[in-house]
Chains A and B, each alone.
Chain A
Amino acid sequence: MGYLIAIVILCGINIVAALGVAILTGYTGLFTIGHAGFMALGGYMSAIMVKELNVPYPLALLIGGAFAGICSFIIGYPAFRSRLRGDYFAIATLGFSEAIRLLLNNTRGLGQSLQDSTSSFGQGASSLLIKLGGAFGYMNLPNVTNVWVVVVTVALAMFFAHMYVTSQYGKNSIAISQDEVAAEMMGVNLLKTKLISLFISAFYAGVAGGLLGFYFAYLSPSLFTITKSSDLLAAVVFGGIQSLIGPFITAFVLIGVPELLRTFAEWRLIIYGFLFVIVMIFRPQGLLGYVEMNFSFLGRWWNAIFRRKHTPSQKG
């Protein structure tokens, strides 16, 4: 039972991050292979908040998310100003996340080199950087993420994502993903709309990073490699663009199944590659592409399964 709960927690954390990628890639049309970087930023920030500053845990998660969101402007503003998109933007995000990971890998060395600093700020920075532990990881975090926290966070994340993508802001993002030139000519402020999408997306990733740290009770840069980013992107590509429920389901499946079939786990990347090709050929919009989140399908399933016991509602 404990093992199953652990899988549910890991799936839930990934769903939160995947919903962030869905907002950016699925709805705004900006491919990202750097969301592990935003997870790392949010995770480390919320860990510092709780461990060093004794900030309450839920607040720390929000601060971590906001920090990741604000950091996203570092990459977003210059990239969107120069109209990077498609592969080029994806590569920019990859570079950003690798830069974050390498920086975190070397915090210990950086901290030690600052140890001789005379200013109190230098001393403080030095001791904090050493505590982050570089490639060894940031140890002894409070182990407070449990299944209820994750379930509530996923529910809130789903709710707010749905609110966003059905709002006027979200609909403008969809227009950008379909025809950027036409959207701009019709009055959509490209820079602002994309930055808002990126901020929300990075916020989600940051919160997921925080949850992850407080679940494992440690954080290390090796948790946030490009494999993590591509897992998230895979969830959105398989799950379908302009869909929240699609990435929700695939994030669950893509994390849950390899965990359950542990011996099979190394084959995951090969199978992903194979599935990518299949999906691109037969269903380029993803399994549930353009499927809006609504729960009428539950009713249909219910009828299909229990048709004999319940009188089916009128066919339509």
Chain B
Amino acid sequence: MSEEILSIKNLTVDFGGVRAVNDVSLSLRKGEFIGLIGPNGAGKTTIFNLITNAFQPTSGEIIFKGQSILGKSPDQICRLGISRTFQNIRLFPQMTAYENVELGLHSTPRYSLAEAFIRTPRAARIEAETRKRAHELLEMVNLSQHANARASSLPYGLQRRLELARAMATSPELLLLDEPAAGMNEDECKELVQLIRQIHNTMGYTMIMIEHHMNVVMDLCRDSLIYVLNLGSLLAVGSPAEIQNNPDVIRAYLGERKNGRDNAHA
């Protein structure tokens, strides 16, 4: 269980004159769950975008399952076993919930083009398997009753869960969750924590979660590590208790007193 699955070494990226991520290193063992927190603009989502190669880092290395994934296209990286959800939901709006999940299962078509035109028994069987699996995944995130609803018509919280199911459909080994609880209330957050924990336990994914809801992060990471980013650099690593009492983290989040004046912007 303890082999290293992802290792990021000295990752740096510049956007023009702005250094969005500065010399970040982290490593993950198989099956681990870590939280990634930090104030707005700290570079959390940028790290996800670098892992999935939405853009290239200026320097540094990303190694997944023993091979460098720099320069691979996002779809290749997905096929290697990294999947993600998006901070600003990116479902396929006009497709149904079921079709959204199904896409993750067949984004690499599982029969040949010729079989697509004449639907051999083999292709029909694959279609049936895909259908069954998509419904299982919908069941897992409690969306079965919404299977035929258009994705854009679903309430916000359900869209987040649907994204989760779609990401799971690509059968990843590493799952990147970008603010899964954004915009949710207390009750929805609690449900989500249970759901994510259940998925982590049953599917055995390695997971990185970006989240601003501290209750969610502290709860889900209670047995593991939290990484804190600030202004593109790694500020602290530790258990939830350590992070909560780390003076640097408190300063990054709340600001600090200067010349007796209160500059805090919580």
**A residues lining the B interface (CB < 8 Å):** 160, 163-164, 167-172, 174-175, 178-179, 181-190, 196, 242, 290
- Once bound together, how far apart are the Cα atoms of A162 and B153, in whole Å? 26
Cβ contact within 8 Å between A186 and B116: no
Cβ contact within 8 Å between B119 and A171: no
Cβ contact within 8 Å between B106 and A186: no
- Nearest to A182 among chain B residues (CB) is B90
Cβ contact within 8 Å between B92 and A182: yes
Cβ contact within 8 Å between B90 and A163: no
A-B contact count, CB below 8 Å? Answer: 96
Partner of B107, one of A163, A188, A196: A188
Known: A169-B116, A185-B74. A175 touches B90 (CB 8 A): no
Known: A167-B116, A168-B111, A182-B86. A187 touches B93 (CB 8 A): no
Cβ contact within 8 Å between A186 and B103: yes
Cβ contact within 8 Å between A178 and B116: no
B102-129 Cβ-contact flags toward A at 8 Å (1 or 0):
1110111111010011110001001100
Cβ contact within 8 Å between B117 and A160: yes
Cβ contact within 8 Å between A178 and B75: no
- Once bound together, how far apart are the Cα atoms of A160 and B79, in whole Å? 29
- Nearest to B172 among chain A residues (CB) is A187
Please indicate the chain B residues that have their CB under 8 angstroms from the CB of A170 in the complex: 116
Which 4 pairs show the lowest CB-CB distances between chains A and B? A167-B116, A187-B78, A187-B107, A168-B106
- B79–chain A nearest beta-carbon distance, Å: 5
- Nearest to B115 among chain A residues (CB) is A167
- A10–chain B nearest beta-carbon distance, Å: 27
Please indicate the chain B residues that have their CB under 8 angstroms from the CB of A183 in the complex: 92, 103, 107
Cβ contact within 8 Å between B106 and A172: yes
Please indicate the chain B residues that have their CB under 8 angstroms from the CB of A172 in the complex: 103, 106-107, 109
Partner of B117, one of A163, A184, A189, A290: A163
- Once bound together, how far apart are the Cα atoms of A183 and B169, in whole Å? 13
Partner of B94, one of A160, A181, A185, A242: A242
Residues 69-101 (chain B) with a chain A CB within 8 angstroms? 73-75, 78-79, 83-84, 86, 90-95, 99
- Once bound together, how far apart are the Cα atoms of A183 and B54, in whole Å? 12
Known: A163-B119, A181-B54, A184-B73. A171 touches B102 (CB 8 A): yes
Cβ contact within 8 Å between B116 and A184: no
Residues 26-64 (chain B) with a chain A CB within 8 angstroms? 52, 54
- B107–chain A nearest beta-carbon distance, Å: 4
B189-219 Cβ-contact flags toward A at 8 Å (1 or 0):
0000000000000000000000000000000
